[in-house]
Structure 1
Amino acid sequence: MLDLDGNPSTSYDPDQKVWSGSGQQSLYNDELTVGQIIFRQLQRQPQRIFQISHSDNTRLTRSQMLQNAAKVGCYLRDRGFKKETDLVGLMARNSTHVGAMAYGCLFNGTPFHAVNPNLEQKTIASLYKITKPRILCCDVADYEKIKDIGASLGALILTVNGKMKDVMSVSDLLQNPLPEDYEPAQFQRGVDRNMAILCSSGTTGTPKAVTLSNSRKLFEIHSYLGSDDVQYAPSTLDWLTGLITLVTAGVFGTVRLISSEMFSTAHFMDMCEQHEISWTIMANSHVAMLANCPDARAQKLRSLRHLLFAGGHCLVATLKKMQSFLHGSGILRNAYGLTEVGTLISYNYDTQFKPTSVGRLVANIRVKIVDSLGQLQGPKGLGEVLCHNGQPWSGYVGNPGATAEMRDSAGWFHTGDVGYFDEDHYLHIVERKKDMLKYLGMMYYPHEVEEVIAQMPDIAEVCVFGIWRETEGDAAAASVVLRSGSKLDAKQVEQFVRKNVSVQFKHLHGGAQIVPQLAKSANGKVNRQAVKAAYLRDVTPS
């Protein structure tokens, strides 16, 4: 439910000190899996285009996608994939047949474990050692990276975007005939069955294998989507936004636009012009890249009606610049979610009114703020954000300790984010709990210093981190990316902070560095630890 301004409505219980999104009844029977829902939806308007691959130059109708996915589902059924522990590993970029492979898993009730192909081989091996997929799907280019992993697991390897000698491909599988009476698998309370296993972001350590159920919360908050929409997300299926895009396209009948290319501003704007993208969800760093791109033009982005960003802060100056390229208010939206929760937690439809907020809570989500002493906080009270989604969670595969740390016995997820609610029930995320820094006994967050540096006209992106010193604590340091043509030097950045921050403990005592780009995770989120590691290699702090 939305308020008069188009934002989700959120209420506050002052006795319990809990904020709640609106109550919303699902339209779908709890017996159905998401795969069963998508199977029925794809039967409608069979000749309409469902998927366009920009990089492969292919188009699939809804009927073709349905047939391909059903053949995958039939193949899994015939190979005895019946239990939730019968998994498919999916390590592939967004090429033509990845969607059919994923939908086929959903049709059969087979969870797929999506892992980003850009991860290090040892990380991929450790993740698949935990979940033990029976089939591993990969791009031809990544076969050597996964070959030994498959052999150690006794898993069949399928290539999804081409063929190799003596290796089965998905296109081979799609040559199989499909029984006329094929139906997707049925289960008691399909809504609670595990649907997919994704990876935690990995920005604070080795990624964990996160289970997600067939919850309707994954897609129902996007029920405004329809057949006139063209959806695109640069992320692969290992990130929650990639999965949301895959599922919402199937449920709401949009056109699914994919590309195997990494995000770049030129590539995104070309696709906007060529395919008229109306809905996209991207990392906050991608918005910064677009806003600061010399070639960005409102004309190139005229088709966008919904531009969601997630994964962290966007600086206020960046939001204002990005808004100038969009045709109307309410298009640029901040989405805050958590892979473990399996959905967005809050949604800010009006980044002009509340630019530093992640918005109000989505339906059926409850949140409370707890300080370091375990005390519940009211409006304006700062503490860790705890979230309750009211549904079962199977936790991290093979890691009961981390599961218990993430979700307590009462069902509250401990997000690790520090934040507060303002008087209008808008949630503000201050920083990751683990990113809190302390210098000369005074606590501060990197984001506070980043906002100041971002006020410099020559700054395109900035990442602040702490350099540990035994006698002082965490001395703030910064890596900054300049706008094209800028001649700014690091000393000017340090001087600007000294001039514009009144307290000395937030000054750049660790120094500053100009860099061509910031280290990011495979899906575009700035990796603060990696940026810091690069800084320590290159700079000897003063």
Structure 2
Amino acid sequence: MLDLNGNPATRFDPDQKVWSGCSLQSFYNEDLTVGQIIFRQLQRQPQRIFQISHTDNSRLTRYQMLQNATKIGCYLRDKCFKKETDLVGLMARNSTHVAAVAYGCLFNGTPFHAVNPSLEHNTIASLYKITRPRILCCDVADYEKIKDIGASLEALIITVNGKLPGVMSVADLLQTPLPDDYEPAQFQRGVDRTMAILCSSGTTGTPKAVTLSNSRKLFEMHSYLGPDDVQYAPSTLDWLTGLITLVTAAVFGTVRLISSEIFSTAHFLDLCEQHEVSWTIMANSHVAMLANCPKTNAQKLRSLRHLLFAGGHCLVTTLKKMQSFLHGSGILRNAYGLTEVGTLISYNYDTQSKPASVGRLLANIRVKVVDSSGQLQGPKGLGEILCHNGQLWSGYVGNSQATAEMRDSAGWYHTGDVGYFDEDNYLHIVERKKDMLKYLGMMYYPHEVEEVIAQMPDVAEVCVFGIFREMEGDAAAASVVLRSGSKLEPRHVEQYVRKNISVQFKHLHGGVQFVPQLAKSANGKVNRQAVKAAYLKDATQSKDQFTITTNN
């Protein structure tokens, strides 16, 4: 429900000190799974184009997608995938048959555990050790990366986007005949059954497997979508935004546009011009890249009616510049969500007059603000954001302690974000309570990089933090205390990290500085914020004491 200005309606209860979005009843029976809903929706207008792959220039009708997904669902049924613990691991980019694999899992009530293929081998192995999928689906390019993981789990490996000698492929499964009487699996209270498992990390950086139920909140907030919309998201299915796009396309009958290429401004502009993209959701850094790209203009973005961004804030000047390329107000929207909640929490349609806000609460969402002493806050009161969505959450797989820390016994999620509501009931996020950083859309923790640098014999102490860059996110930077007599140079630390950390998003893109000591709090712990402040101060005064890497 929207107010007179087109923004989500949010009210504040001054007695309970709780903000609430409007109350809406779902249209769907609670015994239905999302897979059952999608199965019925794909049967409508079977000859309409459902998916376009920009990468291989292929198109699938709704009928073809339904047939392909049903064959995957039949295969899982025949392999006795019946329990919620009978999982499929999915580590793939957005290629032609990824959606069929995901929908097939949903048809059979089989949760898929999506993991980003860009993660390090050890992280991938740790995640799949938690959930122990019986099948691992991967791109041909990542087969060697996952082969030993599959062997250790005794899991079958199936390639998604091509064939390898002696390895089963999705293309092989699609050659099997299909029974005429197939129906998706049915369950009592299918809404509560685990639909998918995405990845997150706790404050220690230990990988966690986040369960998501078959909640309608994943898609019902996007009911404005329809057959005239072309949806595109650069996210793979291990991101909540990728999953939202997958589900909404099927439920609301849009055209799903995919590409296996990573986000770039040139590629996005090309997609918009060629395919008339009307809806997209992207990272805040992508908006900054678009707004500041010399090739961006209103003509190339003329088809956009919904440009959502999430994952952080954008500068006011950037939002104004981006708005100048869009054909109307209300197109550029800031979205705030949490993987554990399984949906977006708030939406800001009004980025022009409220550019620093993440907007008002969506339907059936409640939020309260709690300060460090546990006191509930009213408008303008700063504290941790706690969220309640009124639905079942099965928690983190195999991690009951972290589950209890994230969601308390009353059902409130502890987001780890510090913020406040203004007098118009708009939510503002000030900072992360946790140390998690995000660079080019990939999350990491400072201590992961610190542990590597600390292995250098000449390093006595190290503190890693993020230097925010609007187009990239939190670039890792390090302040290092050297051992007496060391001849080490900043570039040696950067080189050591590049050599010993295989993924680029954890490299020291923010630079290295040598310092005589690290700022510490009264209890002797390193004060990361104070170290960062000193680093930034010195950066403007003595550039010859450290290097800043600009080649990302």
- Shorter-chain TM-score range: 0.7 to 0.9
Any conservation in 2 of the 1:463–1:479 contact (CA below 8 Å)? no
- State which of 494, 500, 518 in structure 1 corresponds to 2:540: 494
Pairing 1:228-243 to 2, within 5 Å after superposition: 228-243=228-243
Aligned to 2:219: 219
The answer to whether the aligner puts 1:516 opposite 2:550 as a matched pair is yes
The answer to whether the aligner puts 1:328 opposite 2:328 as a matched pair is yes
Q: Secondary structure at the match of 2:99?
A: helix
Q: Secondary structure at the match of 1:377?
A: coil
Alpha-carbon deviation of 1:312?
1.0
One-letter amino acid of the structure 2 residue matched with residue 396 of structure 1 = Y
Q: 1:462 to 1:77 in 2, by over 3 A?
A: closer
Cα deviation, 1:109-155, whole Å, max 9, x if unaligned, reads 00000000000000000000000000000000000000000001111
Query: CA–CA distance in 2 between the matches of 1:462 and 1:417?
Result: 16
Cα deviation, 1:23-66, whole Å, max 9, x if unaligned, reads 00001110100000000000000000000000121100000000
Query: CA–CA distance in 2 between the matches of 1:17 and 1:297?
Result: 44
Q: 1:60 to 1:465 in 2, by over 3 A?
A: same
Aligned to 1:469: 518
Any conservation in 2 of the 1:421–1:427 contact (CA below 8 Å)? yes
Q: 1:373 to 1:423 in 2, by over 3 A?
A: same
Q: Secondary structure at the match of 1:352?
A: coil
Aligned to 2:82: 82
Q: Secondary structure at the match of 2:286?
A: helix
Query: CA–CA distance in 2 between the matches of 1:254 and 1:219?
Result: 13
Any conservation in 1 of the 2:519–2:530 contact (CA below 8 Å)? no
Any conservation in 2 of the 1:475–1:510 contact (CA below 8 Å)? no
Any conservation in 1 of the 2:519–2:531 contact (CA below 8 Å)? no
Query: CA–CA distance in 2 between the matches of 1:465 and 1:4?
Result: 46
Pairing 1:291-302 to 2, within 5 Å after superposition: 291-302=291-302
Query: CA–CA distance in 1 between the matches of 2:546 and 2:18?
Result: 41
Q: Secondary structure at the match of 1:208?
A: strand
Query: CA–CA distance in 1 between the matches of 2:474 and 2:398?
Result: 37
Aligned to 1:483: none
Any conservation in 2 of the 1:477–1:511 contact (CA below 8 Å)? no
Alpha-carbon deviation of 1:249?
0.3
Q: Secondary structure at the match of 2:101?
A: helix
The answer to whether the aligner puts 1:319 opposite 2:374 as a matched pair is no
Q: Secondary structure at the match of 2:147?
A: helix
Query: Which stretches in structure 2 are left out of the alignment for 5+ residues?
Result: 437-464, 480-516, 522-526
Q: Secondary structure at the match of 1:122?
A: helix
Any conservation in 1 of the 2:518–2:531 contact (CA below 8 Å)? no
Alpha-carbon deviation of 1:315?
1.5
Any conservation in 2 of the 1:117–1:142 contact (CA below 8 Å)? yes
Q: Secondary structure at the match of 1:475?
A: helix
Q: 1:408 to 1:274 in 2, by over 3 A?
A: same
One-letter amino acid of the structure 1 residue matched with residue 530 of structure 2 = A
Cα deviation, 1:250-299, whole Å, max 9, x if unaligned, reads 10000000001111110110000000000000011111111111211111
Q: Secondary structure at the match of 1:237?
A: coil
Q: Secondary structure at the match of 1:434?
A: coil
The answer to whether the aligner puts 1:144 opposite 2:178 as a matched pair is no
Query: CA–CA distance in 1 between the matches of 2:538 and 2:286?
Result: 26
The answer to whether the aligner puts 1:415 opposite 2:464 as a matched pair is no
Any conservation in 1 of the 2:34–2:191 contact (CA below 8 Å)? yes
Aligned to 2:252: 252
One-letter amino acid of the structure 2 residue matched with residue 5 of structure 1 = N
Pairing 1:371-520 to 2, within 5 Å after superposition: 371-435=371-435, 469-470=518-519, 473=527, 474-475=529-530, 477=532, 494=540, 514-516=548-550
Aligned to 1:119: 119
Aligned to 1:91: 91
Pairing 1:100-249 to 2, within 5 Å after superposition: 100-200=100-200, 205-249=205-249
Query: CA–CA distance in 2 between the matches of 1:251 and 1:512?
Result: 53
Query: CA–CA distance in 2 between the matches of 1:509 and 1:381?
Result: 39
Alpha-carbon deviation of 1:462?
7.4
Query: Which stretches in structure 1 are left out of the alignment for 5+ residues?
Result: 437-445, 481-489, 496-507, 519-542
310-319 or 130-139, which deviates more: 310-319
Query: CA–CA distance in 1 between the matches of 2:472 and 2:129?
Result: 40
Q: Secondary structure at the match of 1:142?
A: helix
Alpha-carbon deviation of 1:5?
1.0
Query: CA–CA distance in 2 between the matches of 1:435 and 1:466?
Result: 15
Query: CA–CA distance in 2 between the matches of 1:337 and 1:167?
Result: 38
Query: CA–CA distance in 2 between the matches of 1:78 and 1:233?
Result: 33
Q: 1:478 to 1:67 in 2, by over 3 A?
A: farther
Aligned to 1:3: 3
Aligned to 1:347: 347
Aligned length: 481
Alpha-carbon deviation of 1:494?
3.0
Alpha-carbon deviation of 1:476?
5.7
Q: 1:115 to 1:421 in 2, by over 3 A?
A: same
Alpha-carbon deviation of 1:201?
6.1
One-letter amino acid of the structure 2 residue matched with residue 215 of structure 1 = S
Q: Secondary structure at the match of 2:540?
A: helix
Query: CA–CA distance in 2 between the matches of 1:317 and 1:509?
Result: 28
Query: CA–CA distance in 2 between the matches of 1:476 and 1:4?
Result: 47
Q: Secondary structure at the match of 2:384?
A: strand
Aligned to 1:535: none
Any conservation in 2 of the 1:90–1:137 contact (CA below 8 Å)? yes
Query: CA–CA distance in 2 between the matches of 1:86 and 1:471?
Result: 48
Query: CA–CA distance in 2 between the matches of 1:220 and 1:381?
Result: 31
Alpha-carbon deviation of 1:208?
1.2
Alpha-carbon deviation of 1:492?
11
Any conservation in 2 of the 1:464–1:478 contact (CA below 8 Å)? no
Any conservation in 2 of the 1:494–1:511 contact (CA below 8 Å)? no
Query: CA–CA distance in 2 between the matches of 1:6 and 1:308?
Result: 15
Alpha-carbon deviation of 1:434?
2.5
Cα deviation, 1:346-398, whole Å, max 9, x if unaligned, reads 00011001000000000000000000000000000000000000001000001
One-letter amino acid of the structure 2 residue matched with residue 516 of structure 1 = T
Q: 1:319 to 1:515 in 2, by over 3 A?
A: farther
143-152 or 464-473, which deviates more: 464-473
Cα deviation, 1:399-452, whole Å, max 9, x if unaligned, reads 11110100000000000000000000000000101259xxxxxxxxx99x96xx
Q: 1:398 to 1:320 in 2, by over 3 A?
A: same
Query: CA–CA distance in 2 between the matches of 1:479 and 1:514?
Result: 15
Q: Which TM-score applies when normalising by structure 2?
A: 0.83
